[in-house]
Structure 1
Amino acid sequence: MTLIKSISGIRGIIYDDDSEGLSTIEITNCVKQFIMWINKKNPINNKIVALGRDGRVSGAQICELIKSILTSHGLNVLDLDLTTTPSVQLAIISENCVAGIMVSASHNPISWNGLKFLNKSGEFLSKKNALEVFNMEIDAQPTSINQGDVVKIDYKEKHIQSVLDLIDVDVQRIRSKGFRVVVDGINSSGGVYVPYLLKKIGVEVIEINCDANGQFAHNPEPLPDNLSQLASTVTDNQADFGIAVDPDVDRLVLVCEDGSFFGEENTIVVIAKYILQNYPGNSIVSNLSTTRAVQDIAQEYNAQHFESPVGESNVVDLMKQKKSIIGGEGSGGIIFAPSHHGRDALVGIALFLSYVSSVNYSVKQIKSLLPSYYMIKHKFVLQRDTHFEFSDFVNFKIKFCQNNKLNYTLIDGIKIYYQCGSWSHIRMSNTEPLIRLIVESKSEERALEIKSLLIKEINILST
């Protein structure tokens, strides 16, 4: 599968002959559908659409195509050029845009790119709205005879200043600590934005892979297997910790001072601890695939914890319903409501530094004081010649739960809560042609046991 449409937008492989995947035709059609949806939702004149891209090599050319389509339909473009997804989200709000498009395939391999569609609140489209976009009938001719304008803007300073203005970001205390931090910018937008933020607050920065040329130095997903250079650079330079972000800077992963990994699941845990201790009795939202440690932290500070389906828009919707101050995902995504309702690694970095500067512990010591679980994340790739009905698997597991008196939820695939305190979440991916299987337990042995059984059952039901 070389093209995927979902609530996350559209992603696909860029082919040299432009014949399939994320082709010019697909981009053109999807942008036209989005324009029609924008016009339907916003019947006003002089509409502005924010547009940005991450560092991928194909991004600049795709943005030129999108600008030509938007302006030919009478829409004005606020062109952020090389930027981050949260920057586009914030720009939509602050610059009175009606929508936004971020050109990025996030953590997908370098051969991919994508379009992330954002509404006038600077948020990802809901499932309902995404379906409306992709079901739009494309008009043969533009709906406007007036050509739109393009205005370029460097939003970096505005974004960073909005982070530093947050009440819970203690700039003076951070400055006083004299931190030394290594940044792996994956040769994308993070290589520009993250060092800029850190230097603004007096952090000594050691940069690796911070040339935003789109030549990713490693697989762009910020997982331990891909961050060996970051880990070794932290220890070689006796840094306080290391920072890794994905290409569009909405995920934050940390490395401890000894080169060990803080754990992507622990990003939301430690920042939740910092925020909820300042706002006891508030609430937090995490998705179904996020560590139970978030719930433990919530209980520690008398806060409510709610679970949403996977996907930023789902977390945000529930946060707004419950008026939660913070939310996020175990992949390193932090959503802090006082800033904006979107995952933002820059906000996460500033809040993490504020917490670290308030305690007399190293980053590794901080990790040791967090609730500890053993988590397995497994991708089950579906081969083209394999027939597998996910609904059959879900029905099979429902009967299993009923027979064993186990609680479960079906709001996104199926999540099973075992009597021992372990849980498993099995769902179809929104962004890749595969099944995502996550298991968490207090012990590695039990987690492996549950994983083995689930894989066996999936194989039995595959033909």
Structure 2
Amino acid sequence: MGKYFGTSGIREVVNEKLTPELALKAGRALGTYLGGGTVVVGMDTRTSGEMLKSAVISGLLSTGVDVIDIGLAPTPLTGFAIKLYGADAGVTITASHNPPEYNGIKVWQPNGMAYTPEMEAQLEAIIDSENFRKAPWNEIGSLRTANPEEEYIREALKFIELENSYTVVLDTGNGAGSVLSPYLQRDLGNRVISLNSHPSGFFVRELEPNAKSLSALAKTVRAMKADVGIAHDGDADRIGVVDDRGNFVEYEVMLSLIAGYMLRKFGKGKVITTVDAGFALDDYVRPLGGEVIRTRVGDVAVADELAKHGGIFGGEPSGTWIMPEWNLTPDGIFAGALVVEMIDRLGPLSELAKEVPRYVTLRAKIPCPNEKKARAMEIIAHEALKAFDYDRLIDIDGIRIENSDWWILFRPSGTEPIMRITLEAHTEERARELMERAERLVRGAIARA
């Protein structure tokens, strides 16, 4: 984590750490870094969006960079517009699934992938040096507005086709997905029932799509006898799914199902996921010709791996999916259309979900001051290697040790002063016993750090 940029761009409480002054500097830094060209700028529905977007645009224009303002736009639409207009970068003003008092600035590359930590570090250096490019009065960038929604839908319909029509309940959480997701589903030929689709910036549910926050969606699916319920977070880069019986489909199960469907749709190949993804994915996709490769947590790491090594699909167990045949931007809206196509081809979601193996997953958060994280991880690495009898170690992001029937991941949070433990085992008893030992080890390491 850098001084301004965290695991997903700049993300802070508005008018505390994230001020118009910082947004202006971020725009000036990006324009200086690019040295010219064109940048697409979009925003989610937060009340601070216009304020921060205007500041970023001013900064970009001052360096001589041209700006295409696409206004209220989900993150996937920004990613799509960068490629559509042949832009040199994109910026989304969003705090994704954070509460409404937060906002953020996330920067995208020409191929639709987010800026890497190395690129963000260069932007930070420019912000701190304040050595910004200043265009002469007659070379200041030009500003135009555009709306790429129709083109997005037209292109998506070339990838996704339904033989039948379905009843889809869509909960966009009062976020930016409201302006696009229902329309794509409608143009696929579905009957769409919208929930929380007024893009007000005042969120009536927790934005992270999970079983608790989607209780209204689940009830509506049951009441309307719908075929599926689909939900997004604030900028619609993620997806949560409720099946035809009104049950939330766990992220791990959905990740396995869609990865399997992508292998069926596009052929055998690599599936990229993160170190916190469980064994169910491997067990489900292997018979379909899928090879699972794990990387660091975060959509940037997944997209980076896809860009470098190819792959049919990339996804995290948080509902963030990347379909490289479509774009390297995480896209919950396109994902929603894919889920309906999967149902169309393979049958009801409640039946499909039964095919995915279920294991016992446990998670723990242990308080750990940020300044102790590095030393605590060194102690954990040393102790864990002695305390557990394991077959394989992955240390690209935290430490993951695994055996044929269990795995444990020790990882410091990138956004909070906590240490995370995630583990999976075949039985509840084994999982609890492993968690007890893992928690004891982590608490001891933090105390000694």
TM class by shorter-chain length?
Answer: over 0.9
CA distance in 1, matches of 2:277, 2:136: 45
Deviation of 1:80 (Å): 1.0
Aligned to 1:224: 211
Aligned residues: 442
Q: Partner of 1:165: helix, strand, or coil? A: helix
- Alignment partner, residue 72 of structure 2: 82
User: 1:13, CA displacement in angstroms?
Assistant: 0.6
Deviation at 1:89, TM superposition (A): 1.0
Give the corresponding residue for 1:329: 316
Note the C-alpha offset of 1:312: 1.3
2:143 matched to 1:150?
A: yes
Question: Counterpart in 2 of 1:5?
Answer: 5
AA matched with 2:21? I
CA distance in 2, matches of 1:450, 1:129: 39
Residue 460, structure 1, aligned to residue 447, structure 2: no
**TM-score normalised by L of structure 2:** 0.92
Q: 1:181 to 1:445 in 2, by over 3 A?
A: farther
Q: Which moved more, 1:118-127 or 1:305-314?
A: 118-127
Alignment of 1:108-257 (within 5 A): 108-136=98-126, 137-139=129-131, 142-145=134-137, 146-166=139-159, 169-171=160-162, 173=163, 176=164, 178-257=165-244
Kindly indicate whether the alpha-carbon contact (under 8 Å) linking 1:195 and 1:207 is maintained by their aligned counterparts in 2: yes
Which residue of structure 1 lines up, in the alignment, with residue 427 of structure 2? 443
2:397 alignment counterpart: 412
Other structure's SS at 1:249 match = coil
The equivalent residue for 1:65 is: 55
Give the residue type in structure 2 aligned to 1:66: V
**Are residues 144 and 91 of structure 1, via their aligned partners in 2, closer, same or farther at CA, if it must alter by over 3 Å?**
farther
Q: Report if aligned partners of 1:284, 1:326 keep a CA contact under 8 Å in 2.
A: yes
Given that 1:7 and 1:125 are in contact with CA atoms closer than 8 Å, whether structure 2 keeps it comes out as no
Q: Kindly state the Cα deviation for residue 140 of structure 1 after the two structures are TM-superposed.
A: 5.8
Alignment check: 8 A CA contact 1:287 1:307 kept: yes
Q: Matched residue of 2:293: which SS?
A: strand
Aligned position for 2:281? 294
Deviation at 1:405, TM superposition (A): 4.2
The reply on whether 1:365 has 2:351 as its aligned counterpart is yes
Q: What's the offset of the Cα at 1:457?
A: 2.7
Matching residue of 1:375: 361
**Distance in 2 between residues matched to 1:365 and 1:165, nearest whole Å:** 28
- Structure-2 change in CA distance of 1:453 and 1:459 (3 Å): same
Q: Note the C-alpha offset of 1:102.
A: 0.4
- Once the two structures are TM-superposed, the CA of residue 316 in structure 1 deviates from its matched residue by 1.4
Whether 1:392 and 2:376 are equivalent positions in the alignment is yes
**Cα deviation digits, residues 403-447 of structure 1 (max 9, x gap):** 644221110011121x35211222223344433332222223333
Return the offset for 1:195: 0.7
1:121-155: CA deviation from partner (whole Å, max 9, x where unpaired): 22111222121121222226624432222111112
Q: 1:424 maps to what in 2?
A: 408
Q: Which amino acid in structure 2 is aligned with residue 86 of structure 1?
A: P
* Distance (Å, rounded) in 2 between the aligned partners of 1:377 and 1:205: 35
* Partner SS state of residue 98, structure 2: coil
Partner-residue secondary structure (3-state), 2:350: helix
Residue 294 of structure 2 aligns with which residue?
A: 307
Match in the other structure for 1:51: 41
Distance apart, 1:394 and its partner CA: 4.0
Change (3 A) 1:379 1:243: farther
Code of the aligned partner of 1:35: G
- Alignment of 1:261 with 2:253, yes or no, is no
Which AA in structure 2 matches 1:113?
Answer: N
Matching residue's letter, 1:297: Y
Q: Aligned-pair distance for 1:33?
A: 2.1
Change in CA separation of 1:378 and 1:197 when aligned onto 2, cut-off 3 Å: farther
- 2:212 match: secondary structure: helix
State the SS of the aligned residue for 2:345.
coil
Comparing 82-91 and 142-151, the one that deviates more: 142-151
Structure 2 unpaired stretches of 5+: none
Paired residues of 2:270 and 2:290 also in contact (CA < 8 A): yes
The answer (yes or no) to whether the contact 2:20–2:51 under 8 Å persists in 1 is: no
Q: Distance in 1 between matches of 2:168 and 2:181?
A: 11
Q: Tell me the equivalent position of 2:95.
A: 105
Do the aligned partners of 1:164 and 1:350 also contact (CA within 8 Å) in 2? Answer: no
Give yes or no for contact 2:408–2:423 (8 Å, CA) kept in 1: yes
- CA change 1:190–1:142 in 2 (3 A) is same
Residues 4 and 259 of structure 1, relative CA distance in 2, 3 Å threshold: farther
Residues in 2 aligned to 1:433 and 1:74: alpha-carbon distance in whole angstroms = 40
Helix, strand or coil for the counterpart of 1:96? coil
Aligned partner of 1:42 in structure 2 is none
Which runs of 5 or more residues in structure 1 are unaligned?
A: 40-44
Alignment-derived partner of residue 23 in structure 1 = 19
Q: Residue 325 of structure 1: CA displacement?
A: 1.7
Contact 2:62 2:135 in 1 (8 A): no
> Letter of the aligned partner of 1:409 in structure 2?
I
- Cα offsets for 1:241-269 (capped at 9, x unmatched): 21111111111110122221111222221
Amino acid at match of 2:362: I
C-alpha spacing 1:97/1:238, structure 2 compared with 1 (3 Å): same
Three-state SS of the structure 2 residue aligned to 1:357 is: helix
Letter in structure 1 aligned against 2:397: D
Q: Percent identity?
A: 26
Decide whether the 8 Å contact of 1:8 with 1:430 is kept in 2.
no
Deviation string 1:321-362 (CA, Å, 9 cap, x unpaired) is 222121111111111111011211122112211111112x32
When residues 393 and 201 of structure 1 are mapped into structure 2, their CA distance, relative to the original with a 3 A threshold, is same
Q: Does the aligned pair in 2 maintain the 1:377–1:438 contact within 8 Å?
A: yes
